[in-house]
Structure 1
């Protein structure tokens, strides 16, 4: 399965809307399978943007989100705005750089900095 940065953003936005993380969460996202969402929760956890728990069983993988991290909030603050998000994604693609969390963070920071000048 490929990483989907749009799905990363969608999961983070949904998690931010939660009033609490009293119960671990697997967000229900239209047009996405549970398997896709669970896989991306695992990747977001590995990237340090969320805290998650591995509840996998013999029936398959099961990662649940337990909170956003400070880095996750920072990333989301930059990525929330559609215009900034699209510009950052286009910068990474135009430069021919590998699309990773780190390159996307750098591009988001550049777009925000450019807007502040």
Structure 2
């Protein structure tokens, strides 16, 4: 399965919108399969943007989100605005880099700094 940076962002937004993290969760993302969402929860956990638990069984992988991390909140604060998000993605692509969490963190930081100048 390929990483989908838009889905990763959608998951972060959905998690932030929860009133609480009383229970581990797999957010319902429209037009996305549970399998796609679970895989991206694992990727976001590996990137340090969320805390998650591996509930995998013999039936298959099952990662559930337990909270956003401070880094996840920071990333989402920068990525929430669609204009800033699209500009950051275009900067990464124009420079010939892959759209990864790390390259987007750098580009988002540059776009936000430019907006503050």
Residue 74 of structure 2 aligns to a residue in which SS? Answer: helix
Q: What is the deviation of 1:91?
A: 0.4
Query: What is the distance in 2 between the residues matched to 1:99 and 1:6?
Result: 10
- Give 1:57's aligned residue: 57
Q: TM-score, normalised by structure 2?
A: 0.99
Query: What is the distance in 1 between the residues matched to 2:80 and 2:54?
Result: 27
- Give 1:2's aligned residue: 2
Runs of 4+ in 1 over 2 A off after TM superposition: none
RMSD of aligned alpha carbons: 0.5
- Give 1:19's aligned residue: 19
Query: What is the distance in 1 between the residues matched to 2:86 and 2:37?
Result: 22
Query: What is the distance in 2 between the residues matched to 1:28 and 1:19?
Result: 15
Give ranges in structure 1 of 5+ residues lacking alignment.
none
Q: What is the deviation of 1:64?
A: 0.2
- Give 1:73's aligned residue: 73
- Give 2:42's aligned residue: 42
Query: What is the distance in 2 between the residues matched to 1:31 and 1:102?
Result: 26
Is 1:83 the counterpart of 2:71? The answer is: no
- Give 1:103's aligned residue: 103
**Cα deviation digits, residues 22-53 of structure 1 (max 9, x gap):** 10000011110000000000000000000000
**Cα deviation digits, residues 79-100 of structure 1 (max 9, x gap):** 0000000000000001001221
Query: What is the distance in 2 between the residues matched to 1:28 and 1:18?
Result: 12
Give ranges in structure 2 of 5+ residues lacking alignment.
none
